[in-house]
Amino acid sequence: MMDDVEQQKVVSLDRGLFFVSYKSADDLASPPHVTVVPAQGHEGCMELIMHPDATEPTLWEPNSGLMVRVNTPGTLQIQVQPMRPGGSRAAMVRIEPIQSGRAPLAAQGESAATHANVALDGLKILGHVAGRGDVVVAPNAWIAGPTAPSRIEGIALEWPEKPAGLDIRYAVQLPIGQAGSGKMVSLGSYAGTRGRALPITGVVLEVSGAARFEFVAEATFLNAPTLRAVGKRVVLSGPTSREPLVGIRIGVNRLAAPDNVVVPAKSSRKPVGSSRVRVFRSRARQESSIG
């Protein structure tokens, strides 16, 4: 019967660990059951972690749940079927990201930082250091810095495998009167000078576009404490904005996945019982439904 056709909703999940919890149902006497599976073609992106007594990824009643480990961004499908013919198909499911925590930036090694977010593959930061020339590092690695301070005269970010829909621009501040000071340049462009012994006195980093990322950066200016800033627009400078930059490290964080994607359910010929599937993404604290 059409009345018994399953309701379904698809949810886009970023890399991470998630708890899928069947929170409640309108009909507690005969609650619908909820099946959680990767969308077709996304089976290799994720794995389901179930209770040891479970034989299939189905949540039979409220207050049950399972884990989803997402290795690469993919789509999860939530399917709801009534317990009996003509029964309710109204269920509330919450998807909650489980954070592993992040080590302090100072404690992260270059390889650990790169492994922590596969989306950063290919990102390189170049700094032109006085007496050393161009130095190229991976994300979250120091160029010069607290243990080996040296004047930095220019920077460039290169990311051949940049995610689609992402726009990155940056600028450096040079001593007053110098051409190019404060001019925003695009990814792959060099900002600063070479061979002119001109210090950088400030750095601006901006990320925008459909992809969800933010900068996390630290900078050391001569005779000043190390600064740390996180955000889509990051501005770094010394106490008087005249101190030379003598160390910097730049990383990019991937933010949480966007709001759920909604797929309308097939309509019933007769409105028998209620038929809404509600999926909550806990971090965003927003509700979306189909029915």
Between residues 45 and 151, which one has the greater pLDDT? 151
Amino acid at 170: Y
Predicted TM-score (pTM) of the model is 0.50
Percent of the chain with pLDDT over 70: 78
Q: Is the pLDDT of residue 261 over 50?
A: no
| 43-52, 94-103, 106-115: range with lowest mean pLDDT | 106-115
CA-CA distance, 105 to 136, in Å (whole number)? 19
Tell me the backbone φ, ψ of residue 247, rounded to 5 degrees.
180, 140
Give me the residue spans of the domains in the chain: 2-100+256-290, 105-254
Between these two residues, 124 and 9, which has the higher pLDDT value? 124
Is residue 38 scored above 60 in pLDDT?
Answer: yes
* CA distance linking residue 258 with residue 213, whole number of Å: 11
Binning pLDDT at 50, 70 and 90, where does residue 10 land?
Answer: confident
Chain-centroid distance, C-alpha 10: 19
Best CA proximity match to 145, nearest among 101, 110, 196? 110
Measured between alpha carbons, how far is residue 29 from residues 12, 25, 79, 89, 278 in Å? 31, 9, 20, 13, 19
Q: Indicate the DSSP class of residue 238.
A: -
**Helix or strand holding residue 113 (H, E):** helix 110-116
When pLDDT is averaged across residues 180-190 and rounded to a whole number, the result is 92
Where does the pLDDT of residue 209 fall: very low under 50, low under 70, confident under 90, or very high at 90 and above? confident
**277 pLDDT tier (thresholds 50, 70, 90):** low
Q: Is there a contact between 182 and 205 (Cβ–Cβ < 8 Å)?
A: no
d(CA 167, CA 206): 8
Q: How many residues does the chain have?
A: 291
Query: Hey, which of 38-42, 105-109, 204-208 has the most confident mean pLDDT?
Result: 204-208
Task: Tell me the average pLDDT across 258-269.
Answer: 41
Q: What is the DSSP string of 8-63?
A: EEEEEE-SEEEEEEEEEES-SSS--EEEEEEPTT-GGGEEEE--TT-SSSEE-STT
Say if residues 243 and 223 touch (Cβ distance below 8 Å).
yes
Predicted local distance difference test score (pLDDT) of residue 86? 82
Determine which of 118-132, 150-164, 176-190 has the lowest per-residue pLDDT on average: 118-132
Top-confidence residue, 95 or 106:
95
Q: For residue range 106-144, what is the model confidence (pLDDT) as tens digits? A: 444 444 443 344 456 789 999 999 988 999 999 999 999
**CB-side exposure of 26: number of CA atoms within 13 Å?**
13
